[in-house]
Chains A and B, each alone.
Chain A
């Protein structure tokens, strides 16, 4: 017999091995004297949710997301409460302050911005003094780099030449687009010198073509622009017209039409030498009188995907034919232009009280306006580049600030300075107080005592002399150099780590306020949808049959409506507000929860434990609430959590399109408001977009992690 390969085959072992020497002692019971108890579980009993949380904790990315989410939640409620707003009366100063974390001049996150290609005032050698302050330029005059002559397309007091670009945008809806004199020929008293003329209301100017005439001479420079360089510059037929008043409205009277082919280069003038003759030649009308006329260039909207533009280089009027209508003559003289930059400055009413004499004559000038768009093209200016401290510029030293006596009195009461007065006829300053100033006081001398707190910046340590201005029964003023931030009660220059926006909001506070509102909207909307969806889904899923069928058809139809349509209808009917937005989201938002709940109910309602409970006499409500719902809850809750970011997302998107909330800040509203600042102040968009990206990512990661934890069988699956 072949030897089996089995060590435990005792039968086939050799005889001597079959007699193992085992004694009785080998069989002593080990725990004969011990008392044996039932052992308690070493581990704690676990519930479904604790188990889920354990699974959740293992998912690192979700935990990180949850921490970030928690942090953002805390910040959203703490920051708006803790962070102070810009002082209400200072908001007009504190606009567009760049983000500042470090001291200015350190180079990064320091509240400065680089100003590139700014027009240079040739007289003072400083960049555009109407906009930029010398003391806020980092490095002073030495910090300015000249960059030579540049071409710009927006009007500026320090630029010259260019063309008025009058164009019709492809999105414009009106049939006609005109470029016409603005306040032209509204009645101004012609007997007064130019500077004192005021527009007189309810006085008509009438141009009677049977009695008088004038000439129009203009140059169009479309042909001067090389086509390959400016492909978007398409020109079209245009007309010269007179707009005149009829029954409160304005109608155009076409003087002459010009074909595209008629346009000559700007070196050659095109003209209508005699307007009245032109009107007589137009056989089909008997118009002779024009009430409150405006001269206009007109383009017809062709509704094509093209931006039609006319570049007007010069426009001159020959007013020799007007003999007995001084107002019309003055109006025409004022309206003509040979420098497009200057023409548009008149319209924009930029402060033209500057060194260049050529603007001084336009105190109350006749501007031009356009029904579509007008702009400047190809004006020339000297440019420079520098780094500019926005805080110093806005809140720092301001020269010749008019300070009233009330303010001075309060400063004196606080002991900021000592006052000396000089009366008329006296040659010495006598110690006194602000209250002593009377009609005879010529000037006061202030000796600053508290340099830290007093907003007045002295130039002379002995005390500066200030002339009393505008003395009347209400009070008086002096012009002082002050620090704006001290004036508004700040002891040091404020620092806004995320800057301020156009309306002087502290972005740090504003954005977190927006985040808080977005979150509240998301949570409340989701909660309402959750409750309603749960109810709907439970009823539909539990009862099944006809109830289910009817309810299902209803949701089928409702879910076919795109939410943007629901949103739009709500906005149209109810207006734009937080409430309307919430309502419109709730109208269709619950369908998802309802569908999930219904499926879960179908899954659990025929289980044995439900049957068992039913046979024991449990009511429908008890079955739903006590037996089915707890099992279905995990999946449903995950859906509700994932709904919050989608609500925030929708709100932000809709607000970004300008259709969303009105009068409240939310992330979308903030982004939407600052959308147009992207090119000029990108920081206004960077911060809120980082926040919204962060909240969306962490919400999604958190929600997915939660779903994986609660329902491990769905792991990795989406939707």
Chain B
């Protein structure tokens, strides 16, 4: 188990490293763009920072051998400074060093001259709150519905739940969000049309949570219901449950002691992975409901060509995905001794 865990973690680290490196090299091979609306002074500060990080070269004479001129500036009482981009591989080597020192690059458009990681950390709590509430609501509800449907298999309750699950899992989430905004916020006026800002009164902010949380929960409730129902159905038709009944356990005893416990073996790891997932943001929801989280940051960064922020955001999403994968795989082994995937 230990050997397997180490192997799994190393693989994830290697994956993360490869993905991040590829992302960096691909993104950096696009010419550096700095937002046009920013003032010359802030551009100067930005390029000085880039020089100190080793991504840009500054010279006092214009050079033609270094590629296109990024920016030039004449500080008071000093000579003109010209800035050129370094070769991508040089930048890559410097970038590796910078990451270990904790510098993930500077924003070029979203918030000029603010660290990309700072922007992410500032936006993260909003996404986190919505995701945590949604997980806390959707996991128990999904499991409950799944158990109800699984135990009453092929009755009207099961058919109703399964049909609803199929419908809601099929309709794209942006359609659900759009219509929730239309009906509950615009038509009924009961909920805010968009995410209320941080100085809105508390009751408005609580109301503002409803659409994001409900729309996020829909998907995962449906997912869990389907998952739990499938597992439970399989367990219910198993031979050991028949044995449990024949040796005299009541139906409830057999279900709680044998069926549910066994059914939860594959479910529990996915719940753990779900909790890792709260660190990511839903791009669609945050984009549509104007939530200042890391999902909408991703779209913002892409639209405004702020590739430094985009890279860090990509890294966050990648690492969350990998982490969830590790948790999922390893917890299988811890929860169920029969599955020690490392021992072939």
The complex places the Cα of A110 from the Cα of B188 at a distance, in Å, of 25
Known: A174-B38, A701-B166, A716-B233. A572 touches B30 (CB 8 A): yes
A564: shortest Cβ distance to chain B, in Å?
A: 7
Task: Please determine whether A565 and B302 come into contact, CB atoms closer than 8 angstroms.
Answer: no
Interface of B is mostly: helix
How far is the CB of A1 from the nearest CB of chain B, in Å? 39
Q: Which residues of A contact B300 (CB under 8 A)?
A: 171
Give the distance to chain A from B159, nearest Cβ to Cβ, in Å: 9
Closest to A690 in B: B175
Say yes or no: B12 contacts A573, CB within 8 Å.
no
C-beta contact mask, B223-244 vs A, less than 8 Å → 1, else 0?
0001101100110000000000
* Residue of B whose beta carbon sits closest to that of A667: B172
Q: Is the CB of A658 within 8 A of B230?
A: no
Across-interface contacts of A564 in B (CB, < 8 A): 283, 298, 317
Shortest CB–CB separation between residue A554 and chain B, in angstroms? 10
Q: Is A562 touching B174 in the complex (CB atoms < 8 A)?
A: no
CB distance from A674 to the nearest CB of B (A): 10
Determine if A653 and B174 form an interchain contact, defined as CB atoms under 8 angstroms apart: yes
Asked if residues A565 and B314 are in contact (CB atoms below 8 Å), the reply is yes
Whether B304 and A678, one on each chain, are in contact in the complex, defined by CB atoms closer than 8 angstroms, is no
Within 8 A of B (CB), among A684-719: 685, 689, 692-693, 696-697, 699-701, 716-719
Answer whether residue B278 sits at the interface, using C-beta atoms and an 8 A cutoff: no
Listed stretches A304-312, A382-390, A474-482; interface member: A304-312
Contact A693 B182 (CB under 8 A): no
- B166: A residues at CB distance < 8 A: 697, 700-701
Closest chain A CB from B272 CB (angstroms): 17
Q: Is A682 an interface residue (CB 8 A)?
A: yes
Most buried by A among B197, B201, B317: B197
Given A173-B112, A697-B171, A657–B283 Cβ distance below 8 Å? yes
A16 contacts the other chain (CB 8 A) = no
Cα separation A573 to B229 with both chains bound (whole Å) = 43
Asked, given contacts A572-B27, A653-B174, A657-B287, whether A170 binds B111 with beta carbons under 8 Å apart, the answer is: no
Q: Which A residues between 355 and 411 are near B, CB-CB below 8 angstroms?
A: 371
Report whether B174 and A560 are in contact in the complex, using a CB–CB cutoff of 8 Å.
no
In the complex, whether B169 has a CB less than 8 A from a CB of chain A is yes
A697 to B164, CA, bound (A): 11
- CB of A649 closer than 8 Å to a CB of B: yes
B318 at the interface (CB under 8 A from A): yes
With CB as the reference atom, state the residue of chain A lying closest to B237.
Answer: A716
* Interface hub of A170, A307, A718 (most chain B Cβ within 10 A): A718
B292 near A572 with CB under 8 A, answer no
Give the residue name and chain of the B residue nearest to A571 (CB): B302
Neighbour of B167 across the interface among A173, A305, A697, CB < 8 A:
A697
Chain B residue total in the interface (Cβ 8 A): 69
- Residue A659 CB within 8 A of the other chain: yes
- Judged by a CB distance under 8 angstroms, whether A209 is at the interface is no
- Interface pair B284/A657, CB less than 8 Å apart: yes
Q: Provide the bound-state CA to CA distance between A175 and B46, in Å.
A: 14
Contact with B along A643-686 (1 / 0, CB 8 A): 00100010011001111000000000001000100110010010
Please state if A700 and B169 are interface contacts (CB–CB under 8 Å): yes
Residues of B near A716 (CB, < 8 A) are 229-230, 233-234
Give every chain A residue within 8 A of B23 (Cβ-Cβ). 565, 569
Among B170, B200, B226, B230, which residue has its beta carbon within 8 angstroms of that of A697? B170
The answer to the question of A553 belonging to the interface, with a C-beta cut-off of 8 Å to chain B, is yes
Interface string of B133-147 (1 = CB under 8 A from A): 000000000000000
Distance of A13 Cα from B307 Cα, bound (Å): 102
Residue A568 is within 8 A (CB to CB) of chain B in the complex: yes
Would A656 and B174 count as touching, CB distance under 8 A?
A: yes
User: Are A557 and B174 in contact, CB atoms less than 8 angstroms apart?
Assistant: no
Contacts of B196 in A (CB 8 A): 232
Q: Which residue from chain B places its CB closest to the CB of A301 in the assembled complex?
A: B111
- CB distance B283 to A696 under 8 Å? no
Q: Is the CB of B197 within 8 A of A306?
A: yes
Residue in chain A with minimal CB distance to B301: A568
* Residue among B42, B175, B226 facing the most chain A CB atoms (10 A cut-off): B175
Residues from 148 to 176 in B contacting A, C-beta threshold 8 Å: 166-167, 169-175
Interface residues of B in 7-56 (CB under 8 A from A): 11-12, 14-16, 18-19, 22-23, 26-27, 29-30, 35, 37-39, 42
Give the contacts of B50-89 with A (CB-CB under 8 A).
none
Shortest distance from the beta carbon of A268 to any chain B beta carbon, whole Å: 26
- Chain B residue nearest to A246 in the complex (CB): B40
B303 interface residue (CB < 8 Å to A): yes
B321–A562 CB distance below 8 A: yes
A561 at the interface (CB under 8 A from B): yes
The contact string, 1 if C-beta is below 8 Å from chain A, for chain B 213-226, is: 00000000000001
B227 to chain A, nearest CB (A): 7
User: Would you call A556 an interface residue if the criterion is a C-beta within 8 Å of the partner chain's C-beta atoms?
Assistant: yes
Complex interface: chain B residues within 8 A of A306 (CB): 197-199
In angstroms, Cα B325 to Cα A701, docked, is 28
B110: interface (CB < 8 Å): yes
- Confirm or deny: B109 has a beta carbon within 8 angstroms of a beta carbon on chain A: yes
Instruction: Give chain A nearest CB distance to B25 CB in angstroms.
Output: 10
List of A residues within 8 angstroms of B174 by Cβ: 652-653, 656, 671
Residues of A with C-beta under 8 A to B26: 569, 572-573
Return chain A residues, CB-CB under 8 Å to B173.
653
- Docked Cα-Cα span, A671 to B325, in Å, equals 33
Residues of A within 8 A of B287 (CB): 657
- Which residue on A lies nearest to B193, using beta carbons? A679
Out of B37, B172, B318, name the residue touching A696 (CB < 8 Å): B172
Rounded to whole angstroms, the CA-CA distance of A697 and B198 in the bound complex is 39
A234 at the interface (CB under 8 A from B): yes
Q: How far is the CB of A716 from chain B (nearest CB, A)?
A: 5
Mask of A561-597 contacts with B, CB within 8 angstroms, 1/0 = 1101100110111000000000000000000000000
| Cβ contact of A557, chosen from B15, B109, B172, cutoff 8 A | B15
| B304 near A553: Cβ-Cβ < 8 Å | no
Which listed residue (A173, A682, A701) contacts B110, Cβ 8 A? A173
> Residues of A contacting B11 with CB < 8 Å?
553, 556-557
B35 A170 Cβ-Cβ under 8 A: no
Chain B nearest Cβ from A503, distance in angstroms: 21
Verify A560–B19 contact, CB threshold 8 A.
Answer: yes
Verify if A425 is at the interface (C-beta below 8 Å from B): no
* B327 on the A face (CB < 8 A): no
20 additional A-B residue pairs with CB within 8 Å, beyond A231-B204, A305-B198, A371-B37: A170-B292, A173-B111, A173-B112, A174-B38, A175-B39, A303-B111, A553-B11, A556-B11, A557-B11, A560-B322, A562-B314, A572-B307, A573-B26, A653-B284, A678-B182, A679-B182, A682-B182, A693-B172, A716-B234, A717-B234
Report 19 cross-chain contacts, Cβ distance below 8 Å, ordered by A residue.
A171-B300, A173-B112, A174-B38, A231-B199, A231-B201, A231-B204, A234-B199, A306-B197, A560-B19, A561-B318, A689-B178, A692-B171, A693-B170, A697-B166, A701-B166, A716-B229, A717-B230, A718-B227, A718-B230
List chain B positions with a Cβ less than 8 A from chain A: 11-12, 14-16, 18-19, 22-23, 26-27, 29-30, 35, 37-39, 42, 109-112, 114, 166-167, 169-175, 178-179, 181-182, 186, 196-201, 204, 226-227, 229-230, 233-234, 283-284, 287, 290, 292, 298-300, 302-304, 307, 310, 314, 317-318, 321-322, 325
7 nearest A-B residue pairs (beta carbon): A696-B170, A560-B15, A697-B170, A305-B198, A174-B37, A693-B171, A689-B175
